[in-house]
């Protein structure tokens, strides 16, 4: 009996210690942080925090990326130029640059998101979507009417549909670059169209007295419109002088004189500088038909 006790008691003690040890291994440590870093997992696509070096243009900036200053071009948008070696300063370029500059300089956080294609262009600039305190800079520019959707090169087209929808709203509201007819075209910005529209607007604002004088002359039988000749109506007027003289005469950015009949593809979008009653009159005045 004494021999049994001598072996049983130590055996029970060993089993008890073993069980207690296993229990400690299975219990979680309340001081252990089991959460995951979600700095990027909160978003559908990874974002990379960067710091601003400086704003270069409305659509171009320099950021500190991987330890050095890198030039960055915003994907899928284009703003008027402010320092282009050939194009110089384009209308609303300074406004677009200042808007981008203020947003970036006041931001608490700037992040980049790359698309699935190349993340650099032929000039070695980074190509990315830029987030300013969580809001995409491209969308902000489009909403203000400071940018157009451009440079659509697959596969870097993740947000092109979203951008075009925003652009369409800005166009409908005639915001920024969209206030001036024909200033924005498929191949970029056309300052000559902007200046033409601006001068027409200025003339309309300050021409009340001239209009009254013209109306008085018409009343007295001194109308300056003869009904014949190569040029009819007021230069730059969007309304034809009568129902028969509906051919639009326009001078494009290259200085080419082109006339558009009602059958021309771009007739509705053309801002006329003068009107003609016949194609012969237009040709005689040095205008040609459109090539397409």
Average confidence (pLDDT) over 64-70:
97
The neighbour count for residue 73, using CB atoms within 10 Å, is 20
pLDDT range class, residue 216, cuts 50, 70, 90: very low
Rg of the chain (C-alpha set) = 34
Confidence check: pLDDT of 230 > 80 = no
Confidence check: pLDDT of 241 > 50 = yes
The pLDDT tens digits of the residues spanning 87-124 come to 889 999 999 999 999 999 999 999 999 999 999 999 99
The pLDDT tens digits of the residues spanning 14-26 come to 555 454 444 443 3
Residue of higher predicted confidence among 125 and 197: 125
E strand residue ranges, 17-171: 48-55, 60-65, 68-74, 77-78, 110-113, 126-132, 135-136, 148-149
Instruction: Spot the catalytic one: 47, 54, 66, 81.
Output: 81
Residue of higher predicted confidence among 124 and 218: 124
CA distance 133 to 240: 51
Average confidence (pLDDT) over 56-64:
97
The question of whether 81 is a catalytic residue gets the answer yes
What is the pLDDT, as a whole number, of residue 12?
Answer: 54
The pLDDT tens digits of the residues spanning 259-270 come to 888 887 777 778
What is the pLDDT, as a whole number, of residue 50?
Answer: 98
CA distance 62 to 24: 55
Instruction: Spot the catalytic one: 125, 164, 181, 279.
Output: 125
The pLDDT tens digits of the residues spanning 178-212 come to 999 999 999 999 998 887 766 665 555 555 544 44
CA distance 23 to 16: 11
CA distance 93 to 11: 88
E strand residue ranges, the chain: 48-55, 60-65, 68-74, 77-78, 110-113, 126-132, 135-136, 148-149, 184-185, 188-189, 247-251, 257-260, 274-276
Computed over every residue of the chain, the mean pLDDT equals: 79
Instruction: Spot the catalytic one: 47, 70, 73, 95.
Output: 73
Average confidence (pLDDT) over 145-149:
98
Average confidence (pLDDT) over 151-177:
97
Question: What pTM, to 2 d.p., does this model score?
Answer: 0.57
């Amino acid at each position: 009996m004494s021999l049994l006790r001598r072996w049983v008691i130590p055996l029970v003690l060993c089993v008890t210690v073993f069980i207690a040890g296993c229990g400690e291994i299975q219990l979680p440590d309340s001081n252990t942080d089991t959460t995951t870093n979600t700095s990027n997992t909160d978003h559908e696509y990874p974002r990379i925090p960067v710091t601003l070096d400086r704003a270069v243009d409305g659509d171009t900036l320099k950021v500190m990326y991987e330890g050095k200053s890198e030039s960055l071009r915003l994907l899928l948008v284009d703003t008027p130029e402010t320092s282009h070696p050939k194009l110089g300063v384009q209308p609303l370029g300074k406004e677009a640059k200042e808007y981008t500059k203020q947003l970036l300089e006041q931001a608490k956080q700037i992040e980049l998101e790359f698309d699935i294609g190349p993340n650099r262009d032929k000039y070695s600039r980074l190509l990315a979507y830029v987030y300013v305190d969580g809001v995409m800079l491209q969308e902000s520019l489009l909403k203000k009417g400071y940018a157009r959707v451009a440079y659509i090169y697959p596969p870097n087209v993740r947000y092109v549909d979203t951008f075009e929808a925003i652009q369409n709203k800005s166009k409908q509201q005639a915001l920024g670059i969209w206030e001036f007819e024909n200033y924005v075209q498929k191949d970029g910005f056309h300052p000559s169209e902007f200046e033409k529209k601006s001068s027409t607007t200025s003339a309309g604002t300050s021409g009340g007295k001239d209009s009254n004088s013209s109306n008085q002359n018409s009343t007295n039988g001194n109308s300056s419109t003869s009904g014949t000749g190569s040029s009819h109506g007021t230069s730059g007027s969007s309304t034809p002088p009568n129902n028969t003289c509906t051919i639009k005469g326009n001078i494009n950015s290259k200085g080419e004189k082109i006339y558009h009949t009602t059958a021309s593809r771009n007739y509705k979008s053309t801002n006329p500088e003068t009107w003609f009653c016949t194609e012969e009159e237009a040709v005689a005045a040095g205008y040609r038909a459109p090539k397409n």
